[in-house]
Structure 1
Amino acid sequence: MHLPRRLLSGLISTATAFGLMVSSSTAADMGHTRTRAAMEALVARDDAPGVLAQVADGAGVWNGSTGTADYATGRPREAGDRFRIGSLTKPFVATVVLQLEAEGTLGLDDPVSRWLPEVRLGRYGAAAGRPEGAVTVRQLLGHTSGIPDYTADPALRAAYFSPRFPKVRMRTHSAAELVRRALSRPPLFRPGTGWSYSNTNYLLAGMVIERATGHSYATEIERRVLRPLKLRDTSLPGTSPRIPGQHGKEYSTLFAPGADPPVRDVTALNPSLAGASGEMISSAGDLVRFVRALATGRLLPPREAARMRTTRRADATDRYGLGLTERTLSCGVTVWGHDGTIHGSSTAAYTTPDGGHTIAVNLNGDWSDGARDLVEAEYCD
């Protein structure tokens, strides 16, 4: 699909007039009127083709959706839709690493070189005035390693974050290849002395899981998290371009410049470019269950849960722990969770510290910060 966004906006208005794309929920608004209004506003101003959300709180479970899941058919977004979750993969990976630490299989302060001697981190050790392997497993999970983000590689950005994407989206990448791209650049800072979000850290964390367990990180996530929590909508596709089960389309402007760039259907893509930093697929219901389980201690012993929540400042509103964001909203409420963006999809899942009030949202478009706005709308009445 290659349609101007102004034309797509017109299609939305027409479809709404015929009742094809109205908001829906499984119950009354249950106190989520502000969230519903924010969802509808995102679609109305063309910040997303469609939006869905699930909230679990003291009043029960509320599902809301608005907009379209498929421009070609006019199908509305539905509560059970699956979607790509991008960097919301990271808390799943961090959970497995912390479980392995609790079991004594590895240590958070282990040098990465202990597990991955073939990954040459000598220049990072030299930068810290320490021997090779200065970067630790803890620093990977907390983005304090100083290792550059492989997605900032100029050649990769020119291919994958531009209108050239349709030509390369089915290519397969290995974690080792992507890590080498990152390590070809100098360290951002001495390990442990700064903070910088880097997807490379989680590619390495996935590799550490594999070396420590003898199984892929996908196998360990499935065994340790997905099956115990019965997250049946959640999967790790590896190199498969498909979204299994019920799902709509996912759309992107492919980061094209200008006020009205074309929108393309990018639903099918090979997620090996994201790997352990962002390959997963899930649903709003599964994400609500997952972040609540983290908050209520179902996945980690108290010591490891506390380590996951030991944070440092990331920006004006966020602090980052080990695969988990602590966000202070405009109204002063603190929530814990993560955001995730990948071509065609923008997701957020957050909960209050006690797990009593949880939201998961998804936009099937990648050109706005609307997921963050919906979290604000839910908690800041």
Structure 2
Amino acid sequence: MPNPRTLLAIPLAVALIGLTSASAPPAGKPATDATLPLLVTRGKAPAAALLAREAPWSTTEPGAPAAQPDRQAAQRPLWHFAHVNQPTVDDTTPPADINPTPDTNPESDIATHTNAVSKTATGSPSNARNTDSDAETDNGAATRIRRTDHFRAGSITKTFIATVVLQLAAEHRLSLSDPVERHLPGLIRAKDSENDKSTNGLDGRTLTLRALLTHTSGLADYTSATKGLVPLTPSEAVRTALTLPTTAPGRWSYSNTNYVVLGMVIKQVTGRSYAAETARRIITPLRLSGTSFPGTRSTLPSPHGRAYTHQGRDVTALNPGVAGAAGELISTLTDLDRYYAALLAGRLLPAPQLRQMLNTRAAEGHYGMGLYPQKLPCGTTVWGHNGRIPGSYVRTAATRDGDRVLTFRVNTDEIADPTLERTLLTAEFCS
């Protein structure tokens, strides 16, 4: 006969089972579908979307060099798209307040304040898009995110830039140990006198490309002065950075200026702009048809939705010069998933350069070269990058082999509850 303690435990167990069942996604639905709506309730974004890709890189997909025999997939990739938005927002009015005081229990009214649509498809991205026709043709809200929408990818640009630099290193056209001075003479010179504060003590003759790639150069972030709102040429961005307080060279400190300088190095070494060289080496071979560097064009390619600051201001039109090689890129969910899958599967870099890209020792475990790791509660470590630029926040994460990739985005530049990013990645990679 059960003792009283056992009898008391039974109702508690039943309650816990019921709670687990209520919070779990319906059978057959990915765990991310239950988490995504939180980005527009607790996260206060106008809309959010994700696209997951699962399968080893296959010889049926574009990209070179040829895949290794043990990496060839028998199946075509599985793609899962989901989106959620605030349906009360119409086509002409930006959200009245997309970042109010957080609710005490925001999960309780997800069903009444969001409109989630989830689609899953196997096959090529183009085939999968055909299953999303309801989302593609719905004009009920300006904030609705469609699978084919173009958006600003922000600092995800850095992964592309790092890939090009590492390809050039593999071709022996540069070395990561090269000082900046070798490629850009006079750009960063030590001060000529005690009264000369033009470089804050930094010297391009000792500052290496490796330090730029790993954010250990000491260069200040020029966007701390511009707030990401003032378009600058690369030289202007560097000059602005050199007027700001530096960090100690050798210590990790994230700075957009590092990748602006790397963009200048790419042009000096190849004779082509970082945009043209990235297109030639990555975008065209992988057939990333929705990915581009807009230059000075302030508009987004079609199709696209609206983009808002976290105060609710429409910033869909934006001069990309605010970011340059540190964050100019425009892309799509499909293209980012495809790119990171190819990169981590070894389709873009030889093994030695890919190992360097993933080596975080110089940055104290924070950052590799254009990629950073994040360890999830289940013990899985994912690799990728985020991107924040006015009107857009994007995050891509992938397993080390590139077999599983998730990209999610919101059409604003800040998530009110930053813990939701980790929650969403955990739902994808720990389920």
Asked if the contact 1:51/1:65 (under 8 Å) is kept, the reply is yes
| Matched residue SS, 1:203 | helix
Asked if the contact 1:56/1:62 (under 8 Å) is kept, the reply is yes
Q: 1:132 to 1:53 in 2, by over 3 A?
A: closer
| Matched residue SS, 1:340 | strand
The whole-number CA distance in structure 2 between the counterparts of 1:80 and 1:307 is 33
Alignment match, 2:170: 102
1:30: how far off?
8.8
Q: 1:125 to 1:105 in 2, by over 3 A?
A: farther
Q: Which runs of 5+ in 2 are unaligned?
A: 1-24, 56-76, 92-140, 192-197
The whole-number CA distance in structure 2 between the counterparts of 1:148 and 1:325 is 20
The whole-number CA distance in structure 2 between the counterparts of 1:127 and 1:102 is 31
Q: Give the one of 206, 210, 216 matched to 2:267.
A: 210
| 1:111 has 2:183 as partner | no
The whole-number CA distance in structure 1 between the counterparts of 2:395 and 2:401 is 18
The whole-number CA distance in structure 1 between the counterparts of 2:26 and 2:271 is 47
The whole-number CA distance in structure 2 between the counterparts of 1:241 and 1:313 is 36
The whole-number CA distance in structure 1 between the counterparts of 2:387 and 2:293 is 15
Alignment match, 2:17: none
What is the TM-score when the length of structure 2 is the normalising length?
0.71
1:34: how far off?
2.0
Q: 1:372 to 1:237 in 2, by over 3 A?
A: farther
Q: 1:125 to 1:237 in 2, by over 3 A?
A: closer
Q: Give the one of 288, 294, 308 matched to 1:251.
A: 308
Q: 1:70 to 1:150 in 2, by over 3 A?
A: farther
The whole-number CA distance in structure 2 between the counterparts of 1:55 and 1:132 is 42
1:37: how far off?
1.4
Q: Can you list the C-alpha shifts for 1:208-236, whole angstroms capped at 9, x where unaligned?
A: 00011111000001000000000001010
Q: Give the one of 211, 232, 240 matched to 1:139.
A: 211
Q: Can you list the C-alpha shifts for 1:152-205, whole angstroms capped at 9, x where unaligned?
A: 22xx23xx5xxxxxxxx5x64201101101011343103xx2100000000000
The whole-number CA distance in structure 1 between the counterparts of 2:167 and 2:90 is 44
Asked if the contact 2:215/2:363 (under 8 Å) is kept, the reply is no
| Matched residue SS, 1:53 | strand
Q: Give the one of 52, 57, 60 matched to 2:49.
A: 52
Asked if the contact 1:242/1:269 (under 8 Å) is kept, the reply is yes
The whole-number CA distance in structure 1 between the counterparts of 2:181 and 2:149 is 41
The whole-number CA distance in structure 1 between the counterparts of 2:271 and 2:390 is 31
Alignment match, 1:72: 90
The percent identity for this pair of structures is: 42
1:69: how far off?
9.5
Asked if the contact 1:86/1:278 (under 8 Å) is kept, the reply is yes
Q: 1:246 to 1:64 in 2, by over 3 A?
A: same
The whole-number CA distance in structure 1 between the counterparts of 2:88 and 2:333 is 18
Aligned residue pairs: how many? Answer: 327
The whole-number CA distance in structure 1 between the counterparts of 2:87 and 2:272 is 36
What is the TM-score when the length of structure 1 is the normalising length?
0.80
The whole-number CA distance in structure 1 between the counterparts of 2:156 and 2:257 is 15
1:313: how far off?
7.6
Kindly report which structure 2 residues correspond to 1:183-222, keeping only aligned pairs within 5 A, or say none: 183-190=242-249, 193-222=250-279
The whole-number CA distance in structure 1 between the counterparts of 2:361 and 2:264 is 25
Q: 1:61 to 1:39 in 2, by over 3 A?
A: same
Kindly report which structure 2 residues correspond to 1:1-381, keeping only aligned pairs within 5 A, or say none: 33-45=30-42, 47-58=44-55, 60-67=78-85, 71-73=89-91, 74-75=141-142, 76-122=144-190, 133-153=205-225, 156-157=226-227, 160=228, 172-190=231-249, 193-253=250-310, 262-312=311-361, 319-368=366-415, 369=418, 370-381=420-431
Q: Can you list the C-alpha shifts for 1:54-106, whole angstroms capped at 9, x where unaligned?
A: 11125711111111599432143211111111000000000000111111111
| Matched residue SS, 1:238 | coil
